[in-house]
Chain A
Amino acid sequence: MIKTVTDNEEETRTLGERLGKFLKAGDVILLSGELGAGKTRFAQGIAKGLGCTSNVTSPTFVLINEYPGDITFFHADLYRLEKADLDEIGLWDSTEMGVLVVEWPERAGDSFPENALQLSLSFGSRTNERLIEFFIDSEREQAILASGDFK
C-alpha cells in the first residue's frame, strides 16, 4: 500500500492528474471514501490527465457521465444505488472504450475486474488535509504505480 497526503483540494486534483497521465483505455479505478473526502476532486484530476477539457461534475444523480478526451473518461457514482446491478447501468459498455472511474464502489460488492486500481480517500487531521491510499494487489496496479511517483 502507498500512502499520500495532500494539503488542499488543488493538490488532490493534481495527484489525480498525475495518475491520469499513466492510464490507458480499459483501466478501472475504484475510489472509496466518505462524503467530502475528495473523490470527485481526484476524478476531475484524472480527467485532466486523460486530456479531457470538459468540466467534470459529480455523477451522483445521473449515475454515469462520459467525457471526450485523448482517452475517453467514464465517471460513475454508485452512491444512490442499493444492491447495484452494474450491467443495468451499462457500466461495462464503457470499460473497453476508455478509463472508468467509479465512486462508491462498495455499493456493488466485489463485482469489479481483478485488475481494477483501488484507492481510498479520507480526512486528515487538518481541515483540508486528505489521506490517499493506493492498494496494490494486481500487476496492473504495480505497473501504474511504478511508472509514476505517487509517494
Chain B
Amino acid sequence: MLVLAIESSCDETAAAVIENGRKIHSSVVASQIELHAQYGGIVPEVASREHLRAIIPVIKQALEQASCSIDDLEAIAATRGPGLAGALLVGYNTGKAIALSKSLPFLGVNHLEGHVRANWLMEEPEPLFPALALVVSGGHTDLVFMKSENEYERLGGTLDDAAGEAFDKVGRLLGLPFPGGPAIAKEALSGKASSLKLPRAWLPGTADFSFSGLKTAALHSVRKETWSPTEIAWEFQESVVDVLSGKVANIANDLSAREVLIAGGVASNQRLREELRSRVSVPVRIPPPSLCTDNAAMIGAAASPRLSRGERTPLNVDIFSTNDWSVV
C-alpha cells in the first residue's frame, strides 16, 4: 500500500511517500528552525503562515522524489494531534482535501505513535514484543509499554519539563544558540567531569521523570561563576542521560521487554544513544537522527498497518491538541 503522509504539528512541514509502513520512497522536511532561530523562539503567526506557504511544494517534492503521481497513491495520512492547533490544521486539512478529491481512504495519526513507529522504517526485522518505548523530545518524555503490535500503555512520563525542553532552557542560560539540544551536546564534547555535581531525580518505583529541579540547579551553577559553560553543559547532559538510560534499563528489565524502542528529537543525542546501548540488556532500536526529529515518514509508518486493518478517520473528525496516547 502506497501512502502519502503529512506532518505539520509544530515547527516542521513534512510529507513522505511510504510503502507498506516500512519502505521510504521519499521523505521531505521543510524546517522552520532556522527561521525561528533569528527570533530566538517561535512566532506562531509566522509558524502557521510558513506551514501554509510550504505545504503544497513539500507534498509535490515528496511525490516527485518518490517518482509517483497523486493517482498512484492508495491512501492519505496526516498528523491529527497532539500539537499546535494552527499548525496541525494546515497539514490535516490538506490531507483531508486530497483524500476527498481523489476518493482515497484518510487516516488521522497520533504524532506520538508516529514517533514510535519510526522504528519500523529501518531495514532490520520488525521489533519484537513486548517492547518498551521511550519518546523523548522538546514536548514529551513518555515511557510506553507495547505488549503487542497495537497496544500502547503509557507507564509514566515527566512530571514537569520534557527532557528536550530542559536542554533548550539550559542552552539559553548558557548563552548557546537555539535549539539548545544539539548546542549543549556540541559544547559538552570538549568537556569532562568537574567538581560540579548536578542532581538526578530518580523517582524510584515510578516510570516518571522530573527535569525542573535539574534546570534550576543548572541556573544556580551558572550564577556561581565557578564552572565554565562547557563544564556545566557536560554535567547537565550527563545528568539527563544518566536518568533516562538508567530508568529505561531498569524498567525494560522489570517488564521483561524483548526490545527497547527510542524515539523523538532527543534520541539524536549521541551520549544518550551510547549510554542506552551500554546499559540496556536487550536490543535497543534508535532511528537515524533524520527520523527522530519530526518527519512525515513516521506518520506513514503508523498509518499503514491501521489502514490495512480497515481503519479510517471520517472527514468530520477534528484535530486534537492534548498529550494523549489513547486517541488513535
Residue of A nearest to B320 (CB): A66
| CB neighbors of B among A33-69 (8 A) | 34-36, 40-41, 55, 57-58, 60-67
**Please, which residues of chain A bring their CB within 8 A of the CB of B10?**
61
Q: Which of B30-71 contact A (CB under 8 A)?
A: 39-45, 48
User: Is B7 in contact with chain A by the CB < 8 A criterion?
Assistant: no
Known contacts A57-B158, A90-B85: does B321 contact A85 (CB below 8 Å)?
no
- A88-B44 in contact given A57-B159, A65-B322 (Cβ < 8 Å): yes
Residues of A within 8 A of B86 (CB): 88-90
Indicate whether A81 reaches chain B with its CB closer than 8 angstroms: yes
Partner of B44, one of A40, A57, A63, A79: A63
Task: Tell me if A61 and B139 are in contact (CB < 8 A).
Answer: yes
A80 to B41, Cβ gap below 8 A? yes
Residue A84 interfacial (CB < 8 Å): yes
Whether A35 contacts B165 by the Cβ 8 Å rule is no
Q: Does B230 contact A (CB under 8 A)?
A: no
If A58-B212, A62-B323 touch, whether A82 touches B82 (CB-CB below 8 Å) is: no
A83 within 8 A of B: yes
Does A62 contact B44, Cβ atoms closer than 8 Å?
Answer: no
Does the CB pair B321–A81 fall under 8 Å?
no
The 8 Å CB contact of B42, one of A36, A58, A81, A127, is A81
Checking B44, B165, B321 against A84 with a beta-carbon cut-off of 8 angstroms, the contacting residue is B44
Quick one: CB contact mask for B146-176 with A, threshold 8 Å, 1 for yes? 0000000000011111101100110001000
Chain B CB within 10 Å, residue with most, of A55, A63, A67, A127: A63
Residues of the B chain whose Cβ atoms lie less than 8 Å from the Cβ of A88: 44-45, 48, 86
B83 within 8 A of A: yes
Q: Considering only CB atoms, which chain A residue lies closest to B169 in the complex?
A: A35
User: Does B305 interact with chain A (Cβ within 8 Å)?
Assistant: no
- Are B42 and A80 within 8 A (Cβ)? yes
Residues of A with C-beta under 8 A to B45: 85, 88
Instruction: Flag if B138 contacts A61 (CB, 8 Å).
Output: yes
What is the count of residue pairs linking A and B with beta-carbon distances less than 8 angstroms?
A: 89
Whether the Cβ atoms of B43 and A82 lie closer than 8 Å is: yes
**Chain B, 215-243, CB within 8 A of any chain A CB:** 215-216, 219-220
Contacting residues, chain A, for B160 (C-beta < 8 A)? 40-41, 57-58
Chain B residues near A34 (CB-CB < 8 A): 219
In the bound complex, do residue B216 and residue A36 qualify as a contact, i.e. CB atoms below 8 Å apart?
yes
Min distance, Cβ A107 to any Cβ of chain B, angstroms = 8
B84 lies within 8 A of A58 (CB) = no
Out of B44, B83, B164, which one reaches A85, CB within 8 Å?
A: B44
A62 to B216 Cα, complex, angstroms = 21
Contacts of B43 in A (CB 8 A): 81-85
CA distance A82 to B42 in the complex (A): 6
Determine the residue in chain B with the shortest Cβ distance to A40: B160
Bound form: Cα–Cα A81–B42 in Å: 5
**Which B residues lie within 8 Å of A90 (CB)?**
85-86
A63 surroundings in chain B (CB, below 8 A):
42, 44, 84
> Is the beta-carbon distance between B84 and A89 smaller than 8 angstroms?
yes
Cβ–Cβ contact B41 & A35, under 8 A: no
A-facing residues in B123-149 (Cβ within 8 Å): 137-139
| Chain B: minimal CB distance from A89 (Å) | 5
Residues of A within 8 A of B41 (CB): 79-82
Given known A-B contacts A62-B321, A82-B42, A88-B48, A35 and B216 have beta carbons under 8 A apart: yes
- B169 near A81 with CB under 8 A, answer no
**A63→B88 CA distance, assembly (Å):** 13
Residues of A within 8 A of B158 (CB): 57-58
User: Which of A74-127 touch B at CB < 8 Å?
Assistant: 79-85, 88-90, 127
**B222 CB, nearest partner CB in chain A, Å:** 10
B-binding residues in A (CB < 8 A): 34-36, 40-41, 55, 57-58, 60-67, 79-85, 88-90, 127
Q: A61-B165, A62-B82 are in contact. List 10 more A-B contacts (CB 8 A).
A: A34-B219, A36-B216, A36-B219, A40-B161, A41-B212, A57-B161, A60-B161, A66-B321, A66-B322, A88-B48
6 A/B residue pairs, CB under 8 Å, sorted by A: A36-B215, A41-B212, A57-B160, A58-B160, A61-B10, A89-B86
